[in-house]
């Protein structure tokens, strides 16, 4: 199946620091999504990216769709304790159908107050 490599697997940072995580795929995607999952809950969409090179912000979050269409990154500025959770990238592969999202393995973020 589709391979999505997400890094880092986990991060421990001090409150106020910036965070950067990325995701790469083995093939081209036509959409990249970033989700956050809180403990005991389902993933919630943070940002959606639709075309190569697109840079989109949502509050303190910024994400970019890589030019090669095989990668994306997510930045969080000035982290706060409620940023704790698991962040997933997800991509829509045009070859396998519009309704199948492939998810990365997640980046577990811990923010130390």
Partner 1 sequence: DAGVIQSPRHEVTEMGQEVTLRCKPISGHDYLFWYRQTMMRGLELLIYFNNNVPIDDSGMPEDRFSAKMPNASFSTLKIQPSEPRDSAVYFCASSLSRLGQAIRGSGANVLTFGAGSRLTVL
Residues in the chain: 113
Residues 28-87 that bind partner 1 (CB under 8 A): 31, 33, 40-45, 48, 50
Please tell me whether residue 103 binds partner 1 under the rule CB under 8 A.
yes
Closest CA to 38 of 4, 83, 103, 90: 83
Instruction: By CB under 8 A, name the one of 88, 107, 109, 111 that touches partner 1.
Output: 88
86, 109 in Cβ contact below 8 A?
yes
Binding segment toward partner 1, per CB under 8 A, in 13-21, 64-72, 74-82, 98-106:
98-106
Cα–Cα distance list, 46 to 27, 58, 61, 76, 92 (Å): 23, 7, 8, 11, 16
**Helix segments in 5-54, DSSP class H:** none
Instruction: By CB under 8 A, name the one of 12, 67, 82, 99 that touches partner 1.
Output: 99
- Chain residues in the site for partner 1 (CB under 8 A): 31, 33, 40-45, 48, 50, 88, 90, 92, 97-101, 103-106
């Amino acid at each position: 199946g589709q391979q999505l490599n997400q890094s880092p697997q986990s991060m421990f940072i001090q409150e106020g620091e910036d965070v950067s995580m990325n995701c790469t795929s083995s093939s081209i995607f036509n959409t990249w999504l970033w989700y956050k999952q809180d403990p005991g809950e389902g993933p919630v969409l943070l940002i959606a990216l639709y075309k190569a090179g697109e840079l989109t912000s949502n509050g303190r979050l910024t994400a970019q769709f890589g030019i090669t269409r095989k990668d994306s990154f997510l930045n969080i500025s000035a982290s706060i304790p409620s940023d704790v959770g698991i962040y997933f990238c997800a991509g829509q592969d045009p070859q396998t159908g519009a309704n199948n999202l492939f998810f990365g393995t997640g980046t577990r973020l811990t923010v130390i107050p």
